[in-house]
Structure 1
Amino acid sequence: MKKLEIGIVGGAGYTAGELIRLLLHHPHTNINFVFSTSNAGNKIHTVHKDLLGSTNLSFSNEINRNIDVLFLCLGHGNSKIFLENNFFSAQTKIIDLSNDFRLSKDNFFNNKEFIYGLPELQKEAIKTAQNVANPGCFATALQLAILPLASSKLLKNDVHIHAVTGATGAGTSLSATTHFTYRDNNFSHYKAFNHQHLGEIVQTVQQLQKSFDKEINFIPNRGNFSRGIFATAYTVFDDSLENALKLYKEFYKEAAFTFISDDEIHLKQVVNTNKCIIHLTKHGNKLLITSCIDNLLKGASGQAIQNMNLMCNLNETTGLQLKANYF
């Protein structure tokens, strides 16, 4: 099989680094170029130092417009600008990792339709898509936590969510809250009740349960670890835990990377994997759902490759058989 020619735009960040790492070891891909205006000419391994010995590629200031798949790893708002100023062949599939095209009001752009790329929700649509908007990291963890309830029209009350993300969720740009002296031995929340991923979460819930008119109360938190998202969500659920487990296991029975655990879960089970692991417990009339992902993989680059596999008629798990950093 001829390898897919891959282009990456915005190659210096954490997301791009993980994407490059995964694509280098994917059996059906060849990285044609990694475009970066700030690093053009530099070896990729001088920025992504974990790739020393894995590739001798350099960042490019030129773009091949006839590639098979283009990944956009640009800051939010910049994918639209890039696509306004650059064109690609009609055969090029585009996977955008920003939030530019995730909402239905934004998913048509320059005669391109972007399909929302959450495989557990829209696998069949992704298979025939030319362009995909990759979901946000928090949005992935939280949607997977509540999709089965919405699908069965069982979200009848407010949903309350607390989720903690690692420092890589803030990107490579330095700020007061990413500085080691702030993060170390520290914990804080931010964007309480108005995080930008809420829009896509509500959109998906209402896609499955049109009558949903309650609040999704989301408190995002900064953790003092590097990567991963640990989320807890609870809502009123009048049925039994046994039936909740049946519902979730049935909903995800064909999901390649989402698993229901009978035991309590923790971050080390998912870091460095494309998995989402979910655990359910019942407390009185409330169902507590715990959801864990790696924010850089299932929450970004791993899910982008999962989408590429589906779009290009490859096995969904190809290049993503990764072991968690458990020890």
Structure 2
Amino acid sequence: MNKESETSAAPVRTVGKIKAGIVGGAGYTGGELLRILINHPSVDITFVHSNSNAGNLVADVHTDMLGDTDLQFTGQLSNDIDVLFLCVGHGDARKFLDANPVDDRIRIIDLSQDFRLSAASAIGSKNFTYGLPELNKSAIREAANIANPGCFATCIQLALLPLAKAGLLNKEVHISATTGSTGAGQSLSATSHFSWRNDNLSVYKAFGHQHLKEIRQSLNQLGSGLGAEDFSFIPYRGDFTRGIMASLYTESTLSQEEALQLYTEYYAEHPFTHVSGKNIDLKQVVNTNKCLLHVEKHGNKLLILSIIDNLLKGASGQAVQNMNLLFGLGEKEGLRLKGTAF
């Protein structure tokens, strides 16, 4: 089955448009979500919530949307929606749902880390399914609510899922990954100021990044059995705006040809993840919902390169991909985005 035919296999929603609400619409992920949904043919945005910007035009905050929308931010919430996107900080989604009852018929897609781990995937009567389509597509289609994966987690998991599924992920994995400045969120900090970030590179959270837990959870779901000590992850802050490039290597008995075949076959039915026989570079995915992968054999080591846009496939684009699956739409609907070639 080719990738395009797979995306049209789900039943198509025919009764009206999906009514969407967004909480946290003034930040980076909220802005990216707005840019996608205002052009999505099957969605109407009912409200965009922001306490700090209530009454302001969306285009006054996200100035590139001038001429695209007359929406205003609101401080009010409504249950007259089909889906609620939570684009809030880590820890704030659970607080929001504690303080604001949401009808169980409304699907929630949470972009924070609050419900990603299985031990914390519920609140009250609401349960959250981990929303990595390349791992859980069938479960997502039947889910009530979605915990959207983290950006580093998405990039790294997509590099390792085929090995785990084949029972070939049984040696220590070494990971080096660099993210753009938007990965730090919109609030200013010492390491997000232009004067510090520009022409600079730094390591942070070496060996202890929070996304490692969800990475191990997904790989163990496929039977890898690797423990915390088997992942050596060094994250870098890059001096560019958006995107993640991860390089991973592990011992493997696969040949170059066998590895390429394994990865190509695993992702044959997933429309946003593509395996390249040639080396890849970050601009190929910036402003798209794609993940590109490249594998190379070096002696007894298998090198895997993985690239995504941290705000799209790593956040808001994947959230819309999950929404499409939840509501029986074509998986690529509203996500045929133009990349940045130069």
Measured after TM superposition, the shift of residue 29 of structure 1 is 0.4
Supply the AA of the counterpart residue of 1:268: K
Matched, 1:228 2:240: no
Three-state SS of the structure 2 residue aligned to 1:164 is strand
Q: Secondary structure at the match of 2:274?
A: strand
1:219 pairs, out of 224, 234, 251, with: 234
Give the alignment of 1:184-199 within 5 angstroms. Answer: 184-199=198-213
Task: Provide the C-alpha distance between the structure 2 equivalents of 1:211 and 1:277, rounded to a whole number of angstroms.
Answer: 26
Whole-Å separation in 2 of the counterparts to 1:239 and 1:20: 43
The answer on 1:21 being equivalent to 2:40 is no
Q: Distance in 2 between matches of 1:279 and 1:182?
A: 32
Corresponding residue of 2:44: 30
Q: Kindly state the Cα deviation for residue 175 of structure 1 after the two structures are TM-superposed.
A: 0.8
Shift of 1:23: 0.1
Return the offset for 1:66.
2.5
Residues 66, 89 of structure 1: 8 Å contact kept: no
Runs of 4+ in 1 over 3 A off after TM superposition: none
Using the alignment, how far apart are the partners of 2:151 and 2:316 within structure 1? Answer: 10
Q: Deviations over 1:264-307 (max 9, x none)?
A: 00001000000000000011100000000000000000000000
Using the size of structure 2 for normalisation, the TM-score is 0.94
Q: What displacement does 1:210 show?
A: 4.7
Alpha-carbon deviation of 1:211?
A: 2.9
Unaligned runs of 5+ in 2: 1-13
Q: Is 1:264 aligned with 2:279?
A: yes
CA distance in 2, matches of 1:235, 1:9: 40
1:103 aligns with 2:103: no
Deviation at 1:90, TM superposition (A): 2.6
Partners of 2:315 and 2:84 in 1: how far apart?
A: 15
Matched, 1:72 2:86: yes
Conserved? CA contact 2:170–2:224, under 8 Å: no
2:318 corresponds to:
303
Instruction: Tell me, yes or no, if structure 1 residue 39 matches structure 2 residue 53.
Output: yes
Equivalent AA in structure 2 for residue 189 of structure 1: V
Measured after TM superposition, the shift of residue 109 of structure 1 is 1.2
User: Quick one: distance in 2 between partners of 1:263 and 1:285?
Assistant: 20
The within-5 A match list for 1:118-129 is: 118-129=132-143
1:292 aligned to 2:317? no
| Residue of structure 1 aligned with 2:297, choices 267, 282, 291 | 282
2:101 is the counterpart of 1:87: yes
CA distance in 1, matches of 2:283, 2:298: 25
Q: Could you tell me how far 1:99 is from its partner in structure 2?
A: 0.1
State the Cα distance separating 1:42 from its structure 2 match. 0.4
Task: Tell whether the 8 Å contact from 1:66 to 1:88 is kept in structure 2 after alignment.
Answer: no
1:140 aligns with 2:157: no
Secondary structure of 1:282's aligned partner? strand
What amino acid maps onto 1:9 in structure 2?
V
Unmatched tracts of structure 1, length 5 or more:
none
Give CA deviations for 1:102-124 in whole Å, capped at 9, x if unaligned. 00110121111100000000000
Q: Is the 8 A contact 2:179 2:236 kept in 1?
A: yes
Aligned equivalent of 2:222: 208
In the other structure, the counterpart of 1:168 is: 182
Distance in 1, Cα, partners of 2:50 & 2:17: 23
Partner Cα distance (2:224, 2:128) in 1: 22
Aligned-pair distance for 1:89? Answer: 2.4
Task: Report the counterpart of residue 249 of structure 1 in structure 2.
Answer: 264
**Cα deviation code 1:209-262 (max 9, x no counterpart):** 253345111111011000000110000011211111111011101001000001
Say if 2:173 and 2:248, in contact at 8 Å, map to a contact too.
Answer: yes
What is the distance in 2 between the residues matched to 1:135 and 1:313? 20
* Shift in Å, 1:155: 1.2
TM normalised by structure 1 equals: 0.99
Q: Structure 1 counterpart of 2:246, which letter?
A: A
Match of 1:321 in 2: 336
SS at match of 1:6: strand
SS of the residue aligned with 2:19? strand
1:152 to 138, 163, 166: 166
C-alpha RMSD of matched pairs (Å): 0.8
Q: Give the partner amino acid of 1:286.
A: K
Output one character per residue of 1:127-162: Cα deviation in whole Å (capped at 9) or x when no partner.
Answer: 011100000000000000000001111112100000
Kindly provide the amino acid, as one letter, of the partner of residue 259 in structure 1. Answer: H
The CA distance in 1 between the partners of 2:319 and 2:155, in whole Å, is 15
Q: Which amino acid aligns with 1:162?
A: S
Q: Distance in 2 between matches of 1:41 and 1:312?
A: 31
Paired amino acid for 1:51: M
Rounded Cα–Cα distance in structure 2 between residues aligned with 1:211 and 1:83: 34
Contact preservation (8 Å) 1:276, 1:293: yes
